[in-house]
Each structure stands twice: as C-alpha cells, then as structure tokens.
Amino acid sequence: MQAFKKVDMESWPRREHYRYYTKALKVEFNMTAPVDVQNLLRFCHAHGCKFYAAAIYCVTKALNRIENFRMFKNADGELCVWDKIVPNFTFFHPDDCTFSDCWTDFSEDFPTFYNAITADMQTYKDVKGIKTKPNQPANFYCVSCTPWTAFTGCGSRVADGQPAYFPIVVMGRYEKCGGKVNMPVNITIAHAVADGYHAGLFFRYL
C-alpha cells in the first residue's frame, strides 16, 4: 500500500494559492529547459546502461525530492502528499508506430531500480495497447521521450478536464551544443500544487 500524509491547510504557506487555483482559475503550467546529459551519457557508455532507463531514474529521484510534485486529492477531496511517486513511462512500437505505457516501482538505489525497469521494458515491450503492466498504483507520474525531436517547448491539456496534480515529464532528442550535450525536458503540473519555483528546483536537481 502506498503511504501518504494529509496537508495541514491551516499551516501550509501555499493554502491561498491552492484555493485560488482550484476554485477561481483552474490552470496548469509547463516549463521546458535544456539539460546537459553529457555526464549521464558517459556513465551509460561506461557501464553498459540504457540511457532512457537511467534518465527516468534521474527524473524520478529529482521529483521525489520536491513535496509539491507528490501531491494528490484523496477520496474525500483532501490534499495529500505521497511518500514517493513512481514512473509510468512510455515505450514505442516501431512495427506499427504506436506506443504503450508501463510502470515500475521506484528505489533510490540505482542498481535496484535499473534492474526492475529494464526487466519491465523487456517483459512488456511487445504488448500492444495503452496499458501493459497491470495494477498501476495511484502514486504515479507520467514520463515519456520523443527522441525524434529536439523541441524548445511542449505542452498538453485535457479539454474540459481538471489540471493534473501529478507531473507530466517529456524528454526530447539530445544534441551537441558547444561543450554540452543538451536534452530538452518539459514538465507540466497543476498550478494549484506547484509554481515556477518548484519547476526551477526540479531542473536544478535534475
């Protein structure tokens, strides 16, 4: 069972922002920034690791350091915080150009997580349809990669829907830029639970 705690709305500094962005202006925001992945590429080449799996580890570890990206509403509509969130990632089917998604439990121990996510990638790589691995937990966030495009901005919305309290992270194609290897990374989140400050923290930790 996923562990969580309730937010104390009387003492939470963002309580007025939360109420405003849940009642008056139900918006989400997104931010895109280039992330230098040169050291991660070197690590993957040196250790024979898959870049996508290693990048998902880095993204998940960074998100879990920030409470605002672990928030959700319980069945009673109360704002709560998961102890941790786990990645729900996509993978591409080159034979028919569709994608599926899969989830993997998260461990801060890199070998433990890497072995688990690469095992899931191997097990479910040929399963078609949106959902592959059953029993997706409630404490998930979404992460995907578009390696065909080095974008400068990215966003998604649910028409007539509610802003997502869970983060949505999209990575793009990395390219050499001077002495760096930059990969565009975009994060989308409900403004009710996070601000530009928290997105900035995410990119700094990443």
Active site residues: 191
The DSSP secondary-structure symbol of 70 reads G
**What's the CA gap between 203 and 130, in Å, rounded?**
29
Burial profile 56-89: b = 16 or more Cβ within 10 angstroms, e = fewer: bbbbbbbbbebebbbbbeeeeeebebbebbbbbb
Token readout for 134 is 């059953």
Token readout for 113 is 């997580």
The DSSP secondary-structure symbol of 67 reads G
DSSP three-state, residue 103: strand
How do beta strands 180-190 and 79-82 pair?
unpaired
Residue 119 neighbours by CB distance under 10 Å: 11
